Amino acid sequence: MLFNLKMFLPDFSIDRVENINLERLKTLGFESIILDLDNTLVSWKTKAITEAVKDWIKKAQSLGFKLCIVSNCLLRGRVKFFSDLLNIPFVFRAIKPRKKAFIDALKILDTVPDKTVVIGDQVFTDVLGGNRMGFLTILVVPVDKREFYITILQRTMEKILLSGPRKKGLIPVFDETSECSVDKRPKTNLTNDSTNEGKK
């Protein structure tokens, strides 16, 4: 095989971002969440955002998660609009799956890869990029079915790529009982490892 299939597989999947169990992520030791924008938080064409997504983000912030939007969107104004609305920093023109924007986001959030979750709707950008960084990766179902034509092509390839692993149960739904694989488990526990603070 020319590529490592594992790099394209999300650790978990879920229907919508607002259904991701934040308490569970916290219990597992994660402290930061990198969010895709278009078709993950909002429909790619509009500037509307649902109350459910807003509430989920507020909850994440109140639980102490550090959030950052990392978007491949070329329009700074669009990404900044949601950044301001949700009070989350952003990186735009990210060129995911390249690592650079994710590294920039880690700097903004002052965090480390093994305590970071990336949430997105695309295998070839969000999941591949997140896996390359060593983040926990959660794939969501795209908010909007109508998409840019290149994305439609990618969707077909995603389906082909994920259908086998899905049938084998290799992409579980993230819920309140989810466990991380050893290589994605945060190395230090936030709650009882204050002695390690400042070493990263």
- The least distance separating Mg ion from the CB of residue 36, rounded to whole angstroms, comes to 4
Q: In this complex, which beta carbon is closest to Mg ion, that of residue 38 or of residue 158?
A: 38
- The least distance separating Mg ion from the CB of residue 39, rounded to whole angstroms, comes to 4
Bridge partners, 87 (sequence order): none
List the one residue out of 8, 7, 13 whose CA is nearest residue 171: 13
- The least distance separating Mg ion from the CB of residue 45, rounded to whole angstroms, comes to 12
Q: In this complex, which beta carbon is closest to Mg ion, that of residue 69 or of residue 136?
A: 69
Q: In this complex, which beta carbon is closest to Mg ion, that of residue 39 or of residue 116?
A: 39
Q: In this complex, which beta carbon is closest to Mg ion, that of residue 28 or of residue 135?
A: 135
SS3 content of the chain, % helix, strand, coil (to 5): 40, 15, 45
Q: In this complex, which beta carbon is closest to Mg ion, that of residue 39 or of residue 83?
A: 39
Which residues contact residue 132 at a Cβ distance below 8 angstroms, ignoring those fewer than 6 apart?
7, 97, 99
Strand ranges for the chain from DSSP E: 12-14, 32-35, 66-70, 90-91, 116-120, 136-140
Q: Which residue is nearest to Mg ion (CB)?
A: 39
Chain residues binding Mg ion by CB under 5 A are 36, 38-39, 121
Which residues contact residue 10 at a Cβ distance below 8 angstroms, ignoring those fewer than 6 apart?
123, 127, 130, 137, 138, 139, 171
- The least distance separating Mg ion from the CB of residue 30, rounded to whole angstroms, comes to 21
- The least distance separating Mg ion from the CB of residue 152, rounded to whole angstroms, comes to 13
